[in-house]
Structure 1
């Protein structure tokens, strides 16, 4: 202990002597007016600035403004020592860092990466400097006007040791918060390098590799998301406890982040164009039999998110994703089933071609009908019904209607009209109205109790106006097809107009709150019913 105290006292005495000696003003003069000795002066200054107590005298002597012009030098040793000195003096000093950006330090820093990309010591110092400045908005703005993204991607590609990778990832993560820099990084091909890193480190159990994979995953998330970065941190100890491979956990973590509602259309479209979709599908197929559903669930969530933009839907369909994704139909995990159905429904949204592919796949339709009966999992049950309705809504071909009817899917749409959710009721009613134009068959309609279901909807005061309107629209469509009349006559043969329909139409036409559209439907309904009866 005595020796340590003696060393501390000696060190403090040395610092005091340095300050009193006038060395800082002497170093400043050498840096400004003696080119031959300037390199050594910069080296001495960089060593002095290692100590926290020496930073203040360096600042007071205005050594930072003196050092900045030296960054324009073509002497690599000068650049190395001047860069170190500036970095050490300004470390953790936001005010000084802002001043550095204002006086234009960004340009020479990027130039060093461009002119000396293979000088490891120089690049290391340069990256540390960028790392210290990258969190500043002013620095990001200045960097967005340079080709720093291209140079950083090159350094990321050639980086071999973990320390360098970590520094680069820290810089890239900060820059990815800026939209302009984010685009530049993607255009520079950062995603390809990240993919190579993830593939290279797959299967490694080293903690250092796990950290790199995590950093790469976080960066991809930041590239996909709009606005500020969103990260979810997981300790290495947690990874070991769960006994997952180092790639699986970051993959699940990465993919789950893609569901964030702040994901921008532009970024999603770019990722689709870069082939991310097939990588997700490869990951899904690899884990389809796994009991751990985190990766499957997260990947499907990511696929759904990426399929939202119309442009992405078209490209996804052209690449055959609709067919590939159906390999997951054999999954017995309800959360995976739910996400699969949700993703397929998003693919079919507004896309007649996708709806046709899905609507004419016997295996998919049979699985859908099974899931429509899955009352033990309401989420899967509801999504299966909604996908059936969506297929009919977005592809109105006779072949699709026939295929769904043969798979016995129509009865589930009819059951869906009694859902407690108005949105699902409307989806079912609209789908049935489309299907009725293809002629669903008198016997089937009779057995399905469709008329009775519509009758209840129209009589119930709690039914929303939109649902009642769509119910009347479906009744009119059925009447035009000629099938409903026969069923109604069977139910009420002695009535001048069919019993349930007549009663409902009469009651609803007298509602004061009835809209003009609904009244028109009611009138048409009564006229068609009476006309058919007179035959």
Structure 2
């Protein structure tokens, strides 16, 4: 503390610019040492004392002075001192309130690399997690100044220019991170274009590339940022970085950015054209061991396929190289590759025409081979979930249903009824529902599977809302009775937490089985009528009320004494 006070006193008494600069340099050294010390509370107190000393007014006046050859060296030192002081969180807002932001922002456009560097450091540190500082920069039209610095230094090869480019990107990150108004301002000012130019023009500079990527990540949190990123070519730039780095360096940041952009339909379309998916497929086929990167690559590939236009481009009438690759993945040895293949096929199967072609190409046999190989393997639930998702989509087409039934899809699904994973059960029931739709013989066969019906009753008591909702054919009356279906339906209808759509499904199930004479007594004594009447009179959802009303009428007709 004494050393600091002594230096501050000297600074106020010094007469020449050279003496003042020398003392400011000593203060900088002292503050840097304090910032590196472990005792933060004591060191922060010393720096707060420095800030509140009259000498700070001299620092402010120096920065407010017009840039000149005579003052430049002193201004550089003063800006550096502020940059070091701003590392203390408690000083950031006071620095704004004291008036440092206008002169610092004014000096940002200096052509002197050293001065611009220290000014950028000062502004960036003040803006770190400090909205007051960010708004002050915006008030001084700071975003345009940042663009000016980036543009001026883009191809500069002078000493210090490379470091300045990194610091400008870091300042921009601190200015916009988690701050939507400034993110929007940066996007409006088209800052993504020079950032892209920074990356493409200096790919050999890892520090600059990493900092620019982090900054892009901040700006692409907004939908408008994602759109502009694609328009200015950043997705193509990410591809170049991925192609260059994935074999030798971690690429998690690049993959995260690509995944973020895939929320945009235009990004999916571009990814289907620019070679990104081919590179992703190459990574999938490699011996990559990083589980997180494998998952990220797979997620991006599937994201592209969720777009209608991009999926159609990759499918290419059933002849696209990446579609054929997806088919080959179904026969891969690695489970995560099979999972990716199944998920991809499920997305190609979103179109009726493609569904029929896929079945004709023999995809069902491939999926069944995988499914049969996972029976009893609880740790293969992700693969089971993916395969069942594909089979469900394939089963939607009326043309495909007989083919899937004859191939043994119903039996393969029933072999999984003892799974412990409710997400798999949900998909399993989805496949069965699609398979028996309009297929009376299959519906009756399913309804006579006692083991399945017992499992169905158990599943209805589970927390998974999607599983609670599903129906079974009325022809299987005896098995349904043995499975205590009436009690289960009554319990579900009384559940106050059951969503309206689930209630509608349960009511539809009830209507479907009322034609079974063997269930009439069970239903009459279960108290279902009273519950349905209550729903028809007082439920807030109109669909539930209407369906409950029609179900009640059918109940009255069915169980009333003749």
Question: Using a 3 Å threshold, how does the CA distance of structure 1 residues 76 and 421 change in structure 2: closer, same or farther?
Answer: same
* Alignment partners' CA distance in 2, 1:451 and 1:83: 83
Question: Which residue among 271, 295, 304 is the counterpart of 1:297?
Answer: 295
The answer for the alignment partner of 2:482 in structure 1 is 507
Alignment partner of 2:287: what SS? coil
Q: CA deviation at 1:456?
A: 1.9
Q: CA deviation at 1:303?
A: 5.3
Q: What are the residue-to-residue correspondences of 1:467-482 with 2, within 5 Å?
A: 473-476=471-474
| Stretch deviating more after TM superposition (382-391 or 44-53) | 44-53
The answer for the alignment partner of 1:330 in structure 2 is 328
Question: Using a 3 Å threshold, how does the CA distance of structure 1 residues 99 and 282 change in structure 2: closer, same or farther?
Answer: farther
User: Contact between 1:392 and 1:435, CA under 8 Å: does it hold in 2?
Assistant: no
User: Contact between 2:453 and 2:479, CA under 8 Å: does it hold in 1?
Assistant: yes
The answer for the alignment partner of 2:537 in structure 1 is none
Question: Using a 3 Å threshold, how does the CA distance of structure 1 residues 290 and 508 change in structure 2: closer, same or farther?
Answer: closer
Alignment partner of 1:514: what SS? helix
Q: What are the residue-to-residue correspondences of 1:270-289 with 2, within 5 Å?
A: 272=267, 280-289=276-285
The answer for the alignment partner of 1:252 in structure 2 is 251
The answer for the alignment partner of 1:387 in structure 2 is 389
Quote the RMSD (CA, aligned, Å).
5.0
Q: CA deviation at 1:419?
A: 3.7
* Alignment partners' CA distance in 2, 1:286 and 1:510: 51
The answer for the alignment partner of 1:52 in structure 2 is 30
Alignment partner of 1:373: what SS? helix
**1:142 aligned to 2:136?**
yes
User: Contact between 2:401 and 2:435, CA under 8 Å: does it hold in 1?
Assistant: yes
Question: Which residue among 90, 95, 98 is the counterpart of 1:100?
Answer: 95
* Alignment partners' CA distance in 1, 2:321 and 2:100: 51
Question: Using a 3 Å threshold, how does the CA distance of structure 1 residues 386 and 201 change in structure 2: closer, same or farther?
Answer: farther
Q: CA deviation at 1:457?
A: 2.8
* Alignment partners' CA distance in 2, 1:335 and 1:421: 18
Q: CA deviation at 1:381?
A: 3.5
Q: CA deviation at 1:217?
A: 4.5
* Alignment partners' CA distance in 1, 2:31 and 2:386: 68
* Alignment partners' CA distance in 1, 2:210 and 2:467: 53
* Alignment partners' CA distance in 2, 1:187 and 1:354: 38
Q: What are the residue-to-residue correspondences of 1:199-214 with 2, within 5 Å?
A: 209-214=205-210
The answer for the alignment partner of 1:487 in structure 2 is none
TM-score of the two chains, using structure 1 as the length reference: 0.63
Deviations 1:462-506 (A, max 9, x none): 3425899766x3425xx6xxxxxxxxxxxxxxxxxxxxx242144
Question: Using a 3 Å threshold, how does the CA distance of structure 1 residues 140 and 370 change in structure 2: closer, same or farther?
Answer: farther
* Alignment partners' CA distance in 1, 2:77 and 2:341: 53
Question: Using a 3 Å threshold, how does the CA distance of structure 1 residues 475 and 416 change in structure 2: closer, same or farther?
Answer: farther
Deviations 1:430-480 (A, max 9, x none): 33333333548x5x789xx64443x22324563425899766x3425xx6x
Q: What are the residue-to-residue correspondences of 1:420-439 with 2, within 5 Å?
A: 420-439=420-439
TM-score of the two chains, using structure 2 as the length reference: 0.60
Deviations 1:7-62 (A, max 9, x none): xxxxx99x999777x552455xx8xxxxxxxx778756654544428998975752
Q: CA deviation at 1:168?
A: 3.0
Alignment partner of 2:166: what SS? helix
Alignment partner of 1:52: what SS? helix
* Alignment partners' CA distance in 2, 1:267 and 1:104: 43
Question: Using a 3 Å threshold, how does the CA distance of structure 1 residues 422 and 285 change in structure 2: closer, same or farther?
Answer: closer
User: Contact between 2:31 and 2:85, CA under 8 Å: does it hold in 1?
Assistant: no
User: Contact between 2:389 and 2:427, CA under 8 Å: does it hold in 1?
Assistant: no
Question: Using a 3 Å threshold, how does the CA distance of structure 1 residues 338 and 510 change in structure 2: closer, same or farther?
Answer: closer
* Alignment partners' CA distance in 2, 1:467 and 1:52: 64
Structure 1 stretches lacking a partner, 5+ long: 1-11, 31-38, 227-243, 480-500, 529-535
Q: What are the residue-to-residue correspondences of 1:224-235 with 2, within 5 Å?
A: none
* Alignment partners' CA distance in 1, 2:148 and 2:373: 52
User: Contact between 2:284 and 2:297, CA under 8 Å: does it hold in 1?
Assistant: no
Q: CA deviation at 1:111?
A: 3.6
The answer for the alignment partner of 1:75 in structure 2 is 67
User: Contact between 1:337 and 1:380, CA under 8 Å: does it hold in 2?
Assistant: no
Q: CA deviation at 1:85?
A: 1.0
The answer for the alignment partner of 1:36 in structure 2 is none
User: Contact between 1:112 and 1:123, CA under 8 Å: does it hold in 2?
Assistant: yes
Deviations 1:166-200 (A, max 9, x none): 32343244334223233444555555556566666
User: Contact between 1:223 and 1:267, CA under 8 Å: does it hold in 2?
Assistant: no
Alignment partner of 1:91: what SS? helix
The answer for the alignment partner of 1:372 in structure 2 is 371
Deviations 1:482-532 (A, max 9, x none): xxxxxxxxxxxxxxxxxxx2421443577444337344332235599xxxx
The answer for the alignment partner of 1:109 in structure 2 is 104
Alignment partner of 1:290: what SS? coil
Deviations 1:255-277 (A, max 9, x none): 565799xx8xx994499489578
Question: Using a 3 Å threshold, how does the CA distance of structure 1 residues 474 and 335 change in structure 2: closer, same or farther?
Answer: same
Q: CA deviation at 1:284?
A: 0.2
| Stretch deviating more after TM superposition (314-323 or 505-514) | 314-323
Alignment partner of 2:177: what SS? coil
Question: Which residue among 462, 469, 486 is the counterpart of 2:458?
Answer: 462
Q: CA deviation at 1:388?
A: 2.2
User: Contact between 2:8 and 2:53, CA under 8 Å: does it hold in 1?
Assistant: no
* Alignment partners' CA distance in 1, 2:120 and 2:193: 21
Alignment partner of 1:420: what SS? coil
Deviations 1:206-238 (A, max 9, x none): xxx444444444445555569xxxxxxxxxxxx
* Alignment partners' CA distance in 2, 1:92 and 1:182: 26
Structure 2 stretches lacking a partner, 5+ long: 33-45, 223-242, 494-506, 520-562
User: Contact between 1:388 and 1:413, CA under 8 Å: does it hold in 2?
Assistant: no
* Alignment partners' CA distance in 2, 1:225 and 1:250: 25
